[in-house]
C-alpha cells in the first residue's frame, strides 16, 4: 500500500479556519491520503470538498479531553454521521479508566460504535497519561466494545505516539483491531517506524512533508 494511504491528514487546532480546511482537503486529494481529520464543525464542509475522491471524512468526538458524558459523545457521533462522516475518532473518558470504571468506558465506546452505524470507529487512549497496564486494559475494552482501531493520542496532551506504545497496543489487539499512531509524527522516518511497529494508520498534520521525504526506493509503501 502507498505510504499516503496510511495517513489521516489532520487539522484540529482550535483556531482552524475554513480556508485552512480547504487547503488540507486539496492536499489530501492531490497526495491521495486516507482521510481528512477535522473537528465536527467542519464535517459536512470536508465531505463536500472531498466528493468524487476516495479520501474519507474523519471527525473527532469528545475531543480533546474525553471528559464529557457518554451520551454527548454518542450524540456528537450521530451528528457527524448525519453530516457524512466516514470515520469517527473518539477520546475515551481517561479519568474513568484510571478509576477502574471499566464498564463505563466499555459502554461509552459501545455507544459511539452504535451511533456510528457501521462506520469505522477509532478509540483515542491518550497513552501518555496511562500506564502500560492501563493501555492494555483500554485496548481490551475497545475491542470488546466493537471498535475498529485503537489510537495513541490526541496530539494535545503531554506526549504523542511512541514505537514502544504502538507495539504494545498491536500485541494487545492482535488481528481484532488496527492501530493508529498519532501525535508528534512529523517526518518519514518516524512514520515508517510506527508502521513497522504495527500501525496501519498515521495521524499527522505534516502528511505532505512526510510523503515528500519518502525515498524513491521506498515506493513500495
pLDDT in tens, 153-181: 999 999 999 999 999 999 999 999 999 99
Give strand pairing partners of 60.
89
pLDDT the model gives residue 43: 98
Instruction: Report the pLDDT value the prediction gives residue 221, as an integer from 0 to 100.
Output: 47
pLDDT surpassing 90 at residue 41 = yes
Interstrand relation of 178-182 and 7-11 (parallel, antiparallel or unpaired)? unpaired
Based on the number of CB atoms within 10 Å of its own CB, is 52 exposed (0-12), middle (13-18) or buried (19 or more)? exposed
What average pLDDT does this structure show over 42-55? 98
* pLDDT value for 217: 63
Question: So which residues are the catalytic ones?
Answer: 89, 151, 180
> CA-CA distance, 166 to 163, in Å (whole number)?
5
- Strand partners of residue 149: 122, 178
Say if residue 220's pLDDT is above 60. no
Nearest-CA neighbor of 149 among 4, 1, 6, 2? 6
pLDDT tens track for 176-213: 999 999 999 999 999 999 999 999 999 999 999 999 99
Classify domain 3-218 at the CATH topology level.
Answer: TIM Barrel (3.20.20)
Residue 196 burial by Cβ neighbours in a 10 Å radius (0-12, 13-18, 19+): exposed
Number of other residues whose CB lies within 10 A of the CB of residue 103 = 10
For 66-125, what is each residue's pLDDT tens digit? 999 999 999 999 999 999 999 999 999 999 999 999 999 999 999 999 999 999 999 999
pLDDT in the model for residue 219: 47
Amino acid at each position: 500500500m502507498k505510504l499516503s494511504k496510511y495517513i489521516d491528514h489532520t487539522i484540529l487546532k482550535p483556531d482552524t479556519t475554513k480556508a485552512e480546511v480547504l487547503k488540507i482537503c486539496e492536499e489530501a486529494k492531490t497526495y491521495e491520503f486516507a482521510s481528512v481529520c477535522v473537528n465536527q464543525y467542519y464535517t459536512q464542509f470536508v465531505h463536500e470538498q472531498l466528493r468524487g475522491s476516495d479520501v474519507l471524512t474523519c471527525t473527532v468526538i469528545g475531543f480533546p479531553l474525553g471528559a464529557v458524558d457518554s451520551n454527548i459523545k454518542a450524540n456528537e457521533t450521530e451528528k457527524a454521521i448525519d453530516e457524512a462522516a466516514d470515520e469517527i475518532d473518539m477520546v475515551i473518558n481517561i479519568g474513568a479508566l484510571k478509576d477502574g470504571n471499566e464498564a463505563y468506558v466499555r459502554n461509552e465506546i459501545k455507544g459511539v460504535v452504535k451511533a456510528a452505524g457501521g462506520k469505522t470507529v477509532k478509540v483515542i487512549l491518550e497513552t501518555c497519561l496511562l500506564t502500560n497496564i492501563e493501555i492494555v486494559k483500554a485496548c481490551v475494552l475497545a475491542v470488546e466494545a466493537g471498535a475498529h482501531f485503537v489510537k495513541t493520542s490526541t496530539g494535545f496532551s503531554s506526549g504523542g505516539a511512541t514505537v514502544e506504545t504502538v507495539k504494545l497496543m498491536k500485541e494487545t489487539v492482535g488481528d481484532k483491531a488496527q492501530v493508529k499512531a498519532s501525535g508528534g509524527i512529523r517526518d518519514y522516518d518516524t512514520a515508517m517506524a510506527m508502521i513497522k511497529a504495527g500501525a496501519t494508520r498515521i495521524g499527522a498534520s505534516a502528511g505532505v512533508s512526510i510523503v515528500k521525504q519518502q525515498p524513491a526506493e521506498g515506493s513500495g509503501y
